[in-house]
Structure 1
Amino acid sequence: MEGTKYTTKEAVLKRGQEAIGIPLKDIDKTGRISTGKGAVGSIIEESWFGYSINSESEPDFPEAGVELKVTPYIRGKKGEIRAKERLVCNIINYMEEYDKTFKTSSFWHKCETMLLMSYEHKKDIPKGEFKIDKAILFSFPMEDLVIIERDWNIIMKKVHDGQAHLISEGDTMYLAACTKGANASSVRKQPFSDTMAKQRAYSLKSSYMTQILNQYIFGTATNERIITDWKQLQKQSFEDIIVDKLRPYFGRTQEQLKKQFSVEECSAKNLNEVLLAKMLGIKGKIAYTDEFKKACIVPKTIRVQQGGKIKESMSFPTFDFIKLSKETEWEESELYNYIAPTKFLFVIFHENDNGEYVFERVKFWNISNDDLDEVQRVWERTVKTIREGVVLDAKDGKVYNNLPKQAESPVAHVRPHGKDGNDKLPLPDGRMMTKQCFWFNRTYICKQIKE
């Protein structure tokens, strides 16, 4: 790759900061603003820094050892900042990457130091009005780096085992291997199997980027950490540390745990959440800790009845019918981007002979590629049904619909998720319908928690 005139980290940062506050329409010299996804980054590369867009393995500023990454964020209703998307780094060449170490990997060579330039993505505002608002040089803090290196090793182990085709974003904590290609036919050879594997790229999860934005760019993150000494992570994985912290409490009933931690007055609704935090020695909610937020780990309590069955299916956030009907690509959908990168922490309570629920164990879990394909099928049928017009059939005081039912799939289905029958949202044709969401089948979850 040819060099640029920005040969030091200081020069790269200075030039990046000079772009702050300038509308992109005033920077764009090549007409990139009218192109599709990635246009903002391309404008900064070509028109601001003056180098041609490339997909080479070298950092964008080779002499300075700096990679340029332009990252969008969104402000929520309460002003909170979250990353709009994952940060895609570079394509993984399975045939070359497998015999490297983390420190000689293409990811580390390219992204050891990054110039992060952020901008707020605003709905219904032309791209040309967007402005870079921050620019910083970013290097991974040690407490994150030990986890990222372990993530890289997890990805490479699947390559070594001839299982590159089984790699999933949920396998890892912060560094993921996301699919990268125009469609499902974008595949690559792998070294230890004849099975073609999906083309994937190293990426930093959107959950991780949200924390980076808040902590290092805007300086607003103050999340509690579960592991206060990062050197622990050099000896054990994060998951093993959590299990070890919780193991002394296995076998105790909810009532025993309530007394031990003096939370007898705690409401049933969030009891297990409070108990879990107490067991891990944190003051706030476990879902709000630094590690859980960065890694997109979702804790879910599962109550197993005496017969080994689970009473309830597992719900996901309510979907907007109109918004869902406009989704066209599975891997760009809200459902995919919720399930695929997520690692769940199943907190398992088992009912004993006295009808008491006993804290049995915990399990970290993420969905397999095959099961994700099945969820895609349910998603596709749901989108198609909503576009064509949901059939609503009133019978015996209830309203039935033709969205995918639990009996139609071994993995997932759609059913109501509102406060009551009057909690509704509009369909694309203007009719109102009780709020719905995707669910994992209870039989599917029961199968996943078996050791």
Structure 2
Amino acid sequence: MHSSSPPSSPPASLNELMSRANALSGLSLGDLADAANIVTPQNFRTQKGWTGQLIELWLGASAGSKPEQDFPELGVELKTLPLSYTNLPLETTYVCYAPLTHNTGVTWQNSNVRNKLQKVLWLPVQGEREIPPAQRLIGSPILWQPSIEEETLLRTDWEELMDMISLGQVERIDATVGSVLQLRPKAANGSALTEAIGEDGQAIQTRPRGFYLRKNFTQGILQSAF
């Protein structure tokens, strides 16, 4: 049982963040939830972001869902990574919403995707469906920064996707576009709509989109770390 309670302040340094993250390794989500007096859901069908929020609490993250990083003082984004029994990522990783209008002057350098992925603390968590959430164990943290090769792959995909958005082709973007980054509908429900640019430059209504890292990309991060 994890005896302490969640920290009351954000970590003051990268070292402090990593020692907090390392302290979670080997514990179950139920351990952490119990120690924080939080009820662990029976499944994650309705509470998709629950694991990330629980871990944010134990690491002292401050940003919440604001567009900055989870640890803005340290420039670090937190991502939980659900793994299979064979330690492969089970799903793509959400990065941020994709801006569908007003993209003049947005470049890779000042994009939200690059900002979010400059430095990421990955926390692997058991993710197989038949393991009850309370029993899922947390793995060893990985502090990652994209290599030149990784950044080039991300940038190439981002520029292709943003070009299509700007050219009014958002409805044509499917899961095949992008080798490491993909654009997918991102909304709490299918009826949420937002403005985008249509094929003839007119305003259209479409589902909000988000940028996601493909599993092959996060698998590469895991492999180079371990």
TM-score category of the 2 structures, normalised to the smaller one: 0.7 to 0.9
Shift of the alpha carbon at 1:96? 4.4
What are the within-5 Å matches in structure 2 for residues 24-173 of structure 1?
A: 24-28=29-33, 29-31=36-38, 33-34=40-41, 36-46=47-57, 48-51=58-61, 54-75=64-85, 80-173=86-179
> Per-residue deviation at 1:125?
2.3
Q: Structure 2 vs 1, CA of residues 38 and 140 (structure 1 numbering), >3 Å: closer, same or farther?
A: same
> What amino acid is aligned across from residue 220 of structure 2 in structure 1?
Q
Distance 1:201 1:30, change over 3 A: farther
Q: CA deviation at 1:52?
A: 6.0
Q: 2:4 corresponds to which residue?
A: none
Q: What do residues 331-381 of structure 1 show as CA deviations (whole Å, max 9, x unaligned)?
A: xxxxxxxxxxxxxxxxxxxxxxxxxxxxxxxxxxxxxxxxxxxxxxxxxxx
Pairs within 5 Å for 1:293-332: none
Q: Evaluate the alpha carbon distance shift between residue 125 and residue 18 of structure 1 in structure 2; reply closer, same or farther with a 3 A threshold.
A: same
1:18 aligns to what? Answer: 23
Higher percent of residues as strand: 1
Q: Is the 8 A contact 1:98 1:156 kept in 2?
A: no
Contact 1:45–1:53 under 8 Å retained in 2 = no
Task: Name the aligned partner's letter for residue 173 of structure 1.
Answer: S
Question: Contact between 1:179 and 1:199, CA under 8 Å: does it hold in 2?
Answer: yes
Query: Are 1:60 and 1:68, in contact at CA under 8 Å, matched by a contact in 2?
Result: yes
Distance 2:120 2:39 in 1: 23
- Contact between 1:165 and 1:198, CA under 8 Å: does it hold in 2? no
Residue in 2 that maps onto 1:211: 220
Q: Is the 8 A contact 2:10 2:61 kept in 1?
A: no
Whether contact under 8 Å (1:33, 1:43) holds in the other structure is: no
Question: Does 98-107 or 118-127 show the bigger shift?
Answer: 118-127
**Separation in 1 of the partners of 2:97 and 2:143?**
22
SS at match of 1:185: coil
Deviations 1:176-217 (A, max 9, x none): 11221133323221254312232111110122222322332x
Counterparts in 2 of 1:210-229, with a 5 A limit? 210-216=219-225, 219=226
Greater relative contact order structure (CA < 8 Å, 6+ sep): 2
**TM-score, normalized by length of structure 1?**
0.44
After TM superposition, list the pairs within 5 Å mapping 1:200-279 onto structure 2: 200-216=209-225, 219=226
Question: Cα RMSD between the aligned structures?
Answer: 2.0
Q: Distance in 2 between matches of 1:207 and 1:197?
A: 28
Letter in 2 for 1:43: L
| Distance (Å, rounded) in 2 between the aligned partners of 1:32 and 1:105 | 37
Residues 86 and 32 of structure 1, relative CA distance in 2, 3 Å threshold: farther
Letter of the aligned partner of 1:17 in structure 2? N
Alpha-carbon offset, residue 123 of structure 1:
4.1
Q: Is the 8 A contact 2:96 2:113 kept in 1?
A: yes
Q: AA paired with 1:91?
A: Y
Runs (4+) off by over 4 Å = none
- What are the superposed Cα offsets for residues 423-451 of structure 1, whole Å, 9 maximum, x if unpaired? xxxxxxxxxxxxxxxxxxxxxxxxxxxxx
Match of 1:8 in 2: 13
Q: Equivalents in 1 of 2:202, 2:65: separation in Å?
A: 26
Pairwise CA distance, 1:7: 3.5
Task: Give a deviation string over 1:94-118, Cα, whole Å, max 9, x none.
Answer: 2344531101001111221000000
> Deviation at 1:173?
0.6
Aligned counterpart, 2:5: none
Matches of 1:154 and 1:90 in 2, distance apart? 17
CA distance in structure 2 between the aligned counterparts of 1:122 and 1:74, rounded to whole angstroms: 6
**1:123–1:95 CA distance, 2 compared to 1 (3 A):** closer
Show CA shifts across 1:374-406 (max 9, x none).
xxxxxxxxxxxxxxxxxxxxxxxxxxxxxxxxx
Q: Would the aligned equivalents of 2:63 and 2:69 in 1 still touch at CA under 8 Å? A: no
Determine helix, strand or coil for the equivalent of 2:81. Answer: strand
The whole-number CA distance in structure 1 between the counterparts of 2:14 and 2:62 is: 19
TM-score normalized with structure 2 length: 0.84
Equivalent position SS for 2:189? coil
Distance 2:104 2:174 in 1: 17
Residues 61 and 71 in structure 2, CA contact (< 8 A), matched pair in contact too: no
Higher radius of gyration, 1 or 2: 1
Pairwise CA distance, 1:53:
7.1
